[in-house]
A and B are shown apart, each in its own frame.
Chain A
């Protein structure tokens, strides 16, 4: 008790600049703690999804957790999700992390397949119990937002020529050689971020674009974190899966996906 009083007196005696400094440090400390414990909130949210669905819990047999059943249960969940996905008319994305492929599908028909070169996933997915995986990924997830470093529709505006001479002088030459480096992010259900990177970054422009892409992501996350903190809300943690693939496939996938689409993920 005496020690606390001593510290209190010490603080009281402090210069006002130091008081402000300590106050700022304390607020910053609380802010960092808020960020540090954010995955815990996410895990609890995922647990809550399972526990609140009594019908699902009834159907889920504890024998599924047996190591010999695990793969079969996951496969069944994946097939169920694919079948539900086939009910939609638009072009959708299927990410199969177990066989390292990304597919585009329309009404159950796989129209494009590409091999993933490397996968990086958040620790939250490694620690995820099977029951949560089945609950979350046995149905398609909505894609809420899409962003890429290249255009979805590379529209070229041309004005009609006045006469045939003007048309001949301004004849358009087709060219697809100019292509921006490709990095893409999809925000899907459960607050999951899917980050797609082009496989190689051979020139400086690619590296610079990658740097800018991740900086943009960090900036958005920081703004969101500060905004949540100021409003006394929990920090919104977005688990991420990073996928590297050939650049042409990445462009084809982004350009094919409509704005409101669905995605199936298999771990």
Chain B
């Protein structure tokens, strides 16, 4: 019991101490505010006035042309004129879109979409450039990224053979052979078809189907066997390919 009384006494003492501190703080604050009222109100005013000015700025009346009274005939004829101009512009814009098949490749999400006119035929996974910068000492380096922009199909081949460039050997830690050495020719790795985009970039198949949807290529575009066949049959030489 004595212990409990002691605890209660101590608690009371502490409560009184806290109350004293609290009271003193309030008294000090009131005293500070009273003695510095001019300074503080000036500071507050200096902050409030710009805010008020900003509010007033936004309330500034609109300028520009006022609506004048117009008769119905004039309004209708103006509407018709502008509608004609819009449809003319629309026709011009539609003419920009390819009428036949074209391919759109999203290299950020590794997806392709095959379109015919404004209709989407197929959307699925693909693989694009890995953004690997391969350095072979200070002299040589290769950047494995898929170029972006508008391209055209330059040519189509069946059962393509891959003529391995230098980086394919450097990447595997092999010595680089001569230009037409037999080790440069790899059969069956590009799938059944290949479509050329120019500058060595191809749309082709892959043995690594599990990597579709990931950025793993050396700049080419890899499709699954089924999608590659569809794309091969749909796109002709000259068909447009948009890569972004």
Interface residues of A (CB under 8 A from B): 18, 21-22, 25, 28-29, 32-33, 35-37, 39-40, 43, 47, 50, 60-69, 72-73, 75-76, 79-80, 82-83, 86, 89-91, 104, 106-109, 111-112, 123, 127, 129-132, 153-167, 172, 174-176, 248, 251-252, 255-256, 258
Contact = CB atoms under 8 A, between A and B. Distances in A.
A66 B92 contact: no
Given A69-B78, A160-B136, A174-B130, A107 B173 contact: no
A251 B47 contact: no
Contact of B60 (A25, A43, A131, A162): A43
19 contacts: A35-B50, A40-B57, A43-B60, A47-B63, A63-B70, A65-B65, A79-B93, A89-B150, A91-B148, A91-B244, A106-B150, A132-B64, A153-B131, A155-B143, A158-B134, A160-B136, A160-B170, A252-B109, A256-B107
A28 B215 CA distance: 53
A32 B108 CA distance: 44
Contact of B108 (A73, A106, A255): A255
Interface string B104-138: 10111110000000000000000000111111110
Given A32-B50, A36-B50, A69-B82, A129 B173 contact: no
B54 A69 contact: no
Nearest to A35: B50
Given A167-B171, A256-B108, A108 B96 contact: yes
Contacts of B215: 174, 176
Given A37-B53, A129-B62, A256-B244, A155 B131 contact: yes
Contact of B132 (A50, A163, A172): A172
Interface residues of chain B: helix, strand, loop or mixed (majority): mixed
B132 to A, nearest CB: 5
Nearest to B110: A176
B214 A174 contact: yes
Given A40-B57, A129-B64, A160-B173, A255 B133 contact: no
How many residues of B sit at the interface, in one of the four size bands?
Answer: 35 or more
Given A63-B70, A79-B89, A252-B244, A156 B133 contact: yes
Interface of B: 39, 42-43, 46-47, 49-51, 53-54, 57-58, 60, 62-68, 70, 74-75, 78-79, 82-83, 85-86, 89-90, 92-93, 96-98, 102, 104, 106-110, 130-137, 143, 145, 148-150, 170-174, 211, 214-216, 240, 242, 244
A70 to B, nearest CB: 10
A69 B85 CA distance: 13
Given A29-B50, A36-B57, A255 B64 contact: no
Given A36-B54, A69-B79, A79-B89, A155 B133 contact: yes
Given A86-B93, A163-B173, A248-B109, A131 B64 contact: yes
Nearest to A160: B136
Contacts of B83: 72
A21 B79 contact: no
Contacts of B85: 76
Nearest to B135: A159
B51 A123 contact: no
A37 B78 CA distance: 39
Nearest to B48: A32
Contact of B78 (A61, A82, A159): A61
A129 B63 contact: yes
A212 to B, nearest CB: 23
A90 B148 CA distance: 9
Contacts of B68: 62-63
Contacts of A33: 49-50, 53
B145 A21 contact: no
Contact of A28 (B46, B107, B135): B46
Nearest to B167: A160
A157 B64 contact: no
A267 to B, nearest CB: 15
Given A107-B150, A160-B173, 8 more contacts: A28-B46, A32-B46, A75-B86, A83-B93, A109-B240, A112-B106, A158-B135, A176-B110
A130 B64 contact: yes
B116 to A, nearest CB: 13
A214 B119 CA distance: 40
A111 B109 contact: no
Contacts of B58: 39, 123, 127
